[in-house]
Amino acid sequence: MSARELDLSKVREHFPVITEEALGELRKRIGVKITKTVEPWVEEANRDAIRHYAYGTGDDNPLWIDLEYARKTRFGTIIAPPCFLYATNRVISGYVGGLPGIHAMFAGTNWTWYLPTRLGDRIQTEVYLKELVEHQTQFAGRAIQQIYHGDFFNQNGENIAECDSWCFRTERQTARERGQKYKKGKERKVYSDKEIKHTMQMYADEKVRGGEHRYWEDVNIGDELSPIMKGPMTVTGFIAFVQGWGGLYIRAHKLAFKLYKDHPGVGIPNAYNIPDIPERVHWEDELAKAVGTPGAYDYGPERVSWMSHLMTNWVGDDGWLYKLDAKIVRHNPVGDLLTITGKVMKKYKEGDRCFVDCELLAVNQDGEHSCEATATAILPSRDAGS
C-alpha cells in the first residue's frame, strides 16, 4: 500500500451495517423535538453571511448582495436567497442522528417559504424526526429514508418557512461492493478550450429578472424558464459552498478530536491513519469511491439551492418563490457540468394570489438527471394592480 492509498481494512472498521436494534432505537425519536444539536453555522442573517451563501451557490443576484439596489425594491433591504436557511440548521442540512457509522446521503427537501429572511434577522428553528421509510435502491440495496421536519422563525416569532428534509442511510461497504447505480463507470471529462468558452458565454448570458415585473397574466403554460448552468464541478466550488453553508462535521484541531471522542464513527482513518470526517467524500476521491460513489462530488443542499436560483432569477424581485420540492437523483462528481431548465406547467388563482407551477430539471453533460424539482411561485397581477 502506497502512502497515498487508504487502508480499506481500517476504513471498513468504520463501515457497520444497519441493525434492527439500532433502527428500533431510532424509531423512538419520531415526533420528539430535538433540543440538543450542533450549533448552526449561521444564527444572524448579516450581510457577510448572506453574501457568502449566495456566492457559494454562484448566485450574484443584487437583491442578496447590493444594499443600495435592495433598498429600492419592495423589501427595502437585502434579503437572503431562499435556501440560505440550510445554513441555520444542520439537521435539516443532513446532520442526522442514530444508526452510528451508517452513511448519510442527503437526498432532498420540500420547502415552503412564507416570509423573506431579511438583513439582520435572527433565525431560530424547531426540528423533529418525522418518519423513517425503508427502500430498496440501486445504489446500496437496503436504504433508510430519514425524514426531518423543520420550522424556521425570525426574532419576532414569525414562522418564515417550513420544510421536510431527508437523507438516505446506506451501508458504505454494501454500496461499494454491490451497488449497481455507478457500476458502469465513466472517464472523468476533459474539456476543450471551445467547451470552456461556451460555458463562459452561458454564464455571461444568464438572465436575472430583477426589477422588471413578470406579471401572471403574461405567463403561459409551456413557457420555458431561462436556463442556468452550474459547473464544471471542482473541489474549489464545493469548498466555496461550504464557506457559506458551514458543512456538517468540519472541525479543526482540538474541536475535531472532541468530535471524534463524542462520536467515534465520525473519525474514519485517512491514508496516514489520521481520523478524519466522512464529509471528505466531497473532496477526496478515495473515500468517495470507497462508499460507492464515482468520486468526490458536490453537496445535496447545494443542488437544491441551484434549483431555487433558477426560480428567483425568473420570478424577479416582485415575485415570490413559495414552494420548492426537490429530490437528488444522482451525484455530481468533479468534472460534471449541469444545465438547469424549467417549464411552466400550471397557472391558477387562489383568492387574491396568482400562482404558477413549474417543473425543474438539472441534467449533466451526458444527459443524466442530477436533480428533479417542482416549484410554485406567486407572481404580481396586472389586473390587481400589484
Supply 49's cell numbers.
453571511
Q: Which residue has the higher pLDDT, 370 or 35?
A: 370
Which residues, including other chains, have CB under 8 Å from residue 39's CB and lie 6 or more apart?
none
pLDDT digits (tens, 9 = 90+) for 129-161: 999 999 887 766 778 999 999 999 999 999 999
Which residues, including other chains, have CB under 8 Å from residue 290's CB and lie 6 or more apart?
6, 8, 11, 172, 176
Asked if residue 386 belongs to a domain, the reply is no
Q: Which residue has the higher pLDDT, 53 or 384?
A: 53
Asked if residue 70 belongs to a domain, the reply is yes
Asked if residue 54 belongs to a domain, the reply is yes
Q: Which domain holds residue 335?
A: 8-183+191-379
> How does residue 227 score in pLDDT terms, banded at 50, 70 and 90?
very high
Q: Which residue has the higher pLDDT, 142 or 72?
A: 72
pLDDT digits (tens, 9 = 90+) for 183-226: 566 788 899 999 999 999 999 999 999 999 999 999 999 999 99
Asked if residue 384 belongs to a domain, the reply is no
Average pLDDT value for residue range 372-376 = 98
Place of cell 479543526: 252
Average pLDDT value for residue range 54-83 = 98
- How far apart, in whole angstroms, are the C-alpha atoms of residue 280 and residue 289? 11
Asked if residue 116 belongs to a domain, the reply is yes
- CATH code, 225: 3.10.129.10
Q: Which residue has the higher pLDDT, 54 or 140?
A: 54
- How far apart, in whole angstroms, are the C-alpha atoms of residue 86 and residue 83? 6
- Secondary structure of residue 370 in the 3-state scheme: strand
The DSSP bridge partners found for residue 153 are 124, 159
DSSP 90-114: TTTTT---SSTT-EEEEEEEEEEE-
Specify the number of domains making up the chain: 1
Tell me what pLDDT residue 130 has.
97
Is the per-residue pLDDT at 81 higher than 90? yes
- How far apart, in whole angstroms, are the C-alpha atoms of residue 188 and residue 160? 41
Asked if residue 385 belongs to a domain, the reply is no
